[in-house]
């Protein structure tokens, strides 16, 4: 069977134009999907960073509460020490010898009150 020269092996101009239009729409939809996915990834990263910041803030709050309790215990101990009226010679400075800190639970009636100071 002979090949007819009237028919071209290339698609018609109309078909080529329609194909290019469909390909352009597919590429733009793909670009939109990629942009949406990138926006969702950025949103998730922002949420994770916010949650990490919140956890850091919570940890700092707990540490501050512990520091406050320690400070109130130190004030309570200082109040107890001053109230006892120890002579200067029996008081020890840090690193110079025996010390009565921390006292045993029944040490002359003083016990830490964990957040409640005698001065407050």
104 versus 76: the higher-pLDDT residue is 76
Q: What pLDDT is attached to residue 80?
A: 83
Mean pLDDT, the chain, integer: 76
Contact of 63 with 57, CB cutoff 8 Å: no
Closest by CA to 72, choosing from 113, 107, 104, is 113
Q: Is the pLDDT of residue 2 over 90?
A: no
11 versus 16: the higher-pLDDT residue is 16
Q: Is the pLDDT of residue 93 over 60?
A: no
Q: Where are the domains of the chain?
A: 14-83
Give, as one character, the DSSP assignment of residue 107: S
The helix (H) or strand (E) run that includes residue 118 is none
Full DSSP string of 21-34:
HHHHHHHHHHHHHH
Average of per-residue pLDDT across 50-62: 94
16 versus 73: the higher-pLDDT residue is 73
Identify the sign of the CA torsion 11, 12, 13, 17. Answer: negative
């Amino acid at each position: 069977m002979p090949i007819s020269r009237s028919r071209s092996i290339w698609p018609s101009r109309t078909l080529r134009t329609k194909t290019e239009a469909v390909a352009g729409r597919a590429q733009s939809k793909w670009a939109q999907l990629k942009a949406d996915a990138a926006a969702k990834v950025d949103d998730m990263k922002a949420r994770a960073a916010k949650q990490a910041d919140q956890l850091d803030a919570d940890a700092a709050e707990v540490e501050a509460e512990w520091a406050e309790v320690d400070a109130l215990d130190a004030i309570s101990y200082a109040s107890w020490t001053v109230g006892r009226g120890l002579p200067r010679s029996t008081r020890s400075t840090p690193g110079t010898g025996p010390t009565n800190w921390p006292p045993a639970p029944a040490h002359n009636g003083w016990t830490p009150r964990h957040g409640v100071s005698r001065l407050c």
